[in-house]
Amino acid sequence: MASLSSQAADIAAAVQKLETSPDQVSRAERLRLIQSLEKLKLELKDPKEAIFDHLTNFVALANLRALLELKVPESIPLEGSISARDLAGKVGADEALIVRLMRILTVTGIFDLVGPDEYAHTKFSKAYIEGHEVDFLKLCCDEIFVNTTRLPEYFRATSARDTTSMTDNPYTWGNGQVGKTFFEIISQEPRRIQQFNIAMSTQDFTLPVLGMYPFGEELANASDLENRALIVDIGGGRGHSLIQIRERWPDLKGRMILQDRPVVLDSIGELPGIEKMAHDFFTEQPVKHAHAYYIRRCLHNWTDAHCVQILKSIVPAMAPDSRVLIGEMVVPEYGSERPGGVEDMAPYWMDHNMFAFGGRERTKSDWEKLVAEAGLKLHKIWPSEASSQAVLEVRLA
């Protein structure tokens, strides 16, 4: 651990650059500065006092989720302020409740307390009005955390085991429906499945497609395009990835095929330059000898056994030079390089989410073992600039 004085010097240099040339500061540099500040704060903390930081974070999240349900962020004027009494009247809540819920959120800087029980927005609270990330936060709170906060009880009831089942896990246990999958349970109530669909569609806007694998360069010289598709997006949802790839590299030639369940494809209109094809990725891939089979943000939802089955369904269709491109997170291992020198927290809390219903985020070692079981080998990892998002390029073994 660097000395406090050297840490402070590094922070001062970074702050000076932010002040003098803010446009020249990359996302990676900004995140490194934030993490330096966090490390410095940790050095200054008393270990026992730091225990209570967990309670602060938990209660702030719980209160925030309650205020989102009451539509408090959108009920506060964008300019100026509002009293607890007027805010309570707008959202149909007790004034005393608003005051109690808001206390920790003003102290932690989400909202601004500008007078006695008088509130105004900050740049952070405004993000909860229409940010894409909010829908995903609500889903995590309502469907995941409500069950994983019961892990001690779950372990006492079932033993402390890792989740390797889609139908017997903390989520199915917490819902009292062991034997059903997450999707079967969440589909039982229109409100819950609607929340899930919104959260998944808005996540497409927040998780990068580009900036990792250079589709335009790697596929520019693809041959025999009369007989071979250029790229097949397996489980590609509403075509978000292929649309971005086509817009980024408009000169790419060859067929682009979007595969998903019929109910998904039927919900979208025509996509210029993209073919739609109904397909269940647990069955054999019908498009033979494509140059690239792309599967993004799907495999982390499934157990290792399911993922092997999905990948094995692609293998018979591959030509010797075909590649499978897997868009997923890669959880850092001991000694592994962090993209941009940044410790990305997302793979850790996302793995917690996946653990709840049987999926998982995976390390490089996990991926190597998984693809090998399917008759494939990891050729290269194409990382993002400053996060654990990556594209894993996989070839025939």
Catalytic amino acids?
300
Structure tokens at 60: 């702030």
Residue 87 contacts residue 98 (beta carbons within 8 Å): yes
Sequence length of the chain is 397
Q: How far apart are CA 353 and CA 355, in angstroms?
A: 5
Structure tokens at 278: 């109904």
Exposed e or buried b for every residue in 325-334, given b needs 16+ CB within 10 A? bbbbbbbbee
Q: How far apart are CA 212 and CA 32, in angstroms?
A: 20
Residue 179 contacts residue 172 (beta carbons within 8 Å): yes
Q: How far apart are CA 266 and CA 250, in angstroms?
A: 26
Residue 330 contacts residue 364 (beta carbons within 8 Å): yes
Q: Are strands 323-331 and 292-296 parallel, antiparallel or unpaired?
A: parallel
In a 13 Å sphere around the CA of 60, the CA atoms on its Cβ side amount to 15
Structure tokens at 345: 């927290």
Q: Count of CB atoms within 10 A of residue 193's CB? A: 14
Q: Count of CB atoms within 10 A of residue 155's CB? A: 12
